[in-house]
Amino acid sequence: MKLIMAEVFNSWQGEGGSVEGSAFGRRQIFVRFAGCDLNCIWCDSREFIDAYKVLHWRYEVEPFTGKFKYKPNPASLDEIVDAILWLDTGDIHSISYTGGEPTLQVRPLKALMEGMNELGFSNFLETHGGLPELIKEVAHLTDYASVDIKDETAKATEDWKSLVLHEIESIRILKDAGAKTYAKLVVTKDTKIENVRWYASLLKGLAPLVIQPREPIDISQPKLMEFYREAALIMGRKNVGLSFQVHKYLNVL
Ligand SMILES: C[S@@+](CC[C@H](N)C(=O)[O-])C[C@H]1O[C@@H](n2cnc3c(N)ncnc32)[C@H](O)[C@@H]1O
Ligand SMILES: Nc1nc2[nH]cc(C(=O)O)c2c(=O)[nH]1
Ligand code: SF4
Ligand SMILES: [Mg+2]
């Protein structure tokens, strides 16, 4: 089975904050799939979005060195498993499957998650949640999941309200399968409070929410705190947290 891979690297999970299901600050091996069907204007992985343009994938030969070995795409599953095991520093909390959008290559994703599960690793799925039918294929193999709620200002797709409803459906599927799941909302200076209220009302009683400023940060602190308070008033004060992309401040992958 072949797949179009972007990169495999060992780092700390830099996102998720402290809500239930977050792996923030834990060591992870990241498996970044190439290809995405959305187009978030602030995406920091844009170079990997068009899978056909990702002719090579890379893995970091030693964590935090920024030294990579490059291999041609498509990759074989064995090559990816070998790279993961090569990067296992013995302190790994879980394997993070991210991208691009990992669920778009759901067959190799599922095979990888099965294989890593058999090798004793926990599986962490980082997904836009827009494809619940594909989430169904891997939910039973998912130990932790971070599901984005794509705010209107992400301009991820034309019909953004339907995308949000699909994301909520994906969260429900993952929770029903026993995955520790939280929602991640990237906010910008233009995010509307009425939309934050809508997301919070959809998430109430379903899953906790982290609010993550878009990087580079353009939102004011008072506005960020207003979004937090409104969401907490709706969802309950223990079900909302902040998340920042800390790895960018640590200058690590
Ligand atoms: C690159 S995406 C890949 C996984 C999946 N496609 C998704 O969007 O959830 C991984 C995470 O990075 C976040 N992210 C990407 N670019 C960002 C930025 N400029 N500021 C804040 N978060 C960002 C996304 O919101 C998502 O939670
Ligand atoms: N350190 C680190 N933490 C992360 N959390 C989510 C990431 C992602 O791109 O999926 C990411 C990433 O790219 N690096
Ligand atoms: S869904 Fe994820 S990978 Fe795709 S454009 Fe948005 S942030 Fe980037
Ligand atoms: Mg990232």
Cα(26)–Cα(14) distance, integer angstroms: 8
Q: Render pLDDT for 158-186 as a digit per residue (tens, 0 to 9).
A: 999 999 999 999 999 999 999 999 999 99
Task: Supply 248's token pair.
Answer: 């960018």
| ipTM greater than 0.95 | yes
Of the candidates 58, 63, 121, the one whose C-alpha atom is nearest the C-alpha of residue 92 is 121
Residue 120 phi/psi, 5-degree rounding, is 95, 10
Residues 174 and 144: beta-carbon distance below 8 Å? no
Cα(57)–Cα(85) distance, integer angstroms: 16
Nearest CA to ligand 3 atom 3: 100
Tell me if 36 CB under 6 Å of ligand 3. Answer: yes
Walking along the chain (253 residues) 10 residues at a time, the average pLDDT comes out as 97 98 98 98 98 97 93 98 97 98 98 98 98 98 98 98 98 98 98 98 98 98 98 98 97 93
**Ligand 2 midpoint to CA 25 (Å):** 11
pTM over 0.90: yes
Amino acid in the structure at residue 137: E
Task: Supply 202's token pair.
Answer: 């959809």
Query: Which ligand sits closest to the CA of 99?
Result: 1
What domains lie within the chain, and their CATH numbers? 2-249 (3.20.20.70)
- The pLDDT score that the predictor gives to residue 46 is 97
| Eight-class DSSP state of 93 | -
Burial category of 106 from C-beta neighbours within 10 Å (exposed 0-12, middle 13-18, buried 19 and up)? middle
Tell me if 14 CB under 6 Å of ligand 2. Answer: yes
